[in-house]
């Protein structure tokens, strides 16, 4: 087994608790499905949000989904004037078979953050 870091990001249209939790769940499920991740192999998930998101902690989505094994951490991104707003990012640390290819997932307006990664896979 090898430790991998898988990135992902999504956006919301408003600083709304339900939308933050819903989009975070959508992102996590997409990352897990695309990479065939089993919860017991996840070590930690780091969440970051842009400063304009204050209604809820994205990490709460994991607990609401029943995922209780991984360590979770949340942080706020730097306030960059030209940066993407209302954005939630994740970094999932997971053990997978050595040599596996991983797919980073960018949804909604976050696709523009890394268009070079949208359809690529990395080992």
pLDDT tens digits along 30-59: 999 999 999 999 999 999 999 999 999 999
Residue 122 has pLDDT above 90, yes or no: no
The predicted structure's pLDDT at residue 115:
72
Distances (CA, A) of 36 to 23, 72, 97: 20, 20, 11
Q: DSSP per residue over 28-65, as a string?
A: HHHHHHHTT--GGGEEEEEEEE-TT--S--TTHHHHHT
The mean pLDDT value for 83-102 works out to 93
Going by pLDDT thresholds of 50, 70 and 90, the confidence category of residue 118 is: low
Measured CA to CA, the distance from residue 81 to residue 56 in angstroms comes to: 22
pLDDT on residue 121: 46
12-40 burial: b if 16+ Cβ within 10 Å, else e: beebeeebbbebbbebbebbbeebebeee
pTM above 0.75, yes or no: yes
Options 3.30.1330.40, 3.30.70.20, 3.30.450.20, 3.40.50.10470; which CATH number does 2-113 get?
A: 3.30.1330.40
Neighbours of 112 (CB within 10 A): 12
Q: Mean pLDDT for the chain?
A: 92
pLDDT computed for residue 54 by the predictor: 97
Phi, psi torsion values for 113, nearest 5 degrees: -65, -40
């Amino acid at each position: 087994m090898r430790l991998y870091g898988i990135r992902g990001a999504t956006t919301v249209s408003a600083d709304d608790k339900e939308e933050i939790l819903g989009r975070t769940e959508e992102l996590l499920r997409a990352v897990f499905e695309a990479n065939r991740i089993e919860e017991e192999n996840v070590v930690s998930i780091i969440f970051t949000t842009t400063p304009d998101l204050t209604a809820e902690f994205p990490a709460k989505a994991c607990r609401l989904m029943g995922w209780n094994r991984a360590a979770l951490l949340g942080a706020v991104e730097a306030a960059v004037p030209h940066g993407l707003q209302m954005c939630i990012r994740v970094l999932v640390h997971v053990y997978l078979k050595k040599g596996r290819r991983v797919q980073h997932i960018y949804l909604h307006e976050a696709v523009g953050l890394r268009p070079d990664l949208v359809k690529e896979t990395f080992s």
